[in-house]
Amino acid sequence: MAKYVYISGPVTGRSFEEAKADFDKAAYEIKKKHGDAVFVVNPFDFCSKGEDWTYAMKKCIVNLTTCNYIHMLPGFEQSKGARLEITIAQALNFGVCNEQYELVDYGE
C-alpha cells in the first residue's frame, strides 16, 4: 500500500511566507528520510495566499482523506483547522509521521 503523508499545522494568524516555510521544510525532511517510498501532501501545494478559510479547509479535508499518515507541525493545538484535521485522521485510523519523520502505524 502506498504511503501518503498529510502535513498539518497552524496557518491562520501567521504570515503566509512563514507558515509556508514550515510546511515546505517538513515536506523536504519527510522526502529526505523516505524518498520515493512516501508521497507528501502539502496544503501549500493547493491552497493560495488570501484564500477564504472555509474554502481552503474544504480542499484540505478532501486531500487529507487521500492519505494514510499525518504529520503535525508544532503549534497545531492552537489551530482550529489543524485540530479538525487531526480529529479526522484519528477517526480514520491514520498512522503518524512523528517529529523524527518516522512513520508509525495506528496501534503501534
**DSSP 8-state symbol, 23:** H
Domain that includes residue 92, residue range: 3-104
pLDDT in tens, the chain (108 residues): 799 999 999 999 999 999 999 999 999 999 999 999 999 999 999 999 999 999 999 999 999 999 999 999 999 989 999 999 999 999 999 999 999 999 999 765
Contact 71, 30 (CB under 8 A): yes
User: Where do runs of H (alpha helix) occur along the chain?
Assistant: 16-34, 53-64, 80-91
Closest CA to 46 of 56, 37, 36, 54: 56
- What is the rounded CA–CA span in Å between residue 38 and residue 91? 22
The residue assigned the cell 474544504 is 58
Number of domains in the chain: 1
What confidence score (pLDDT) does residue 74 get?
95
What confidence score (pLDDT) does residue 58 get?
98
Q: What is the CATH number of the domain that holds 83?
A: 3.40.50.450
The residue assigned the cell 487531526 is 86
What confidence score (pLDDT) does residue 39 get?
98
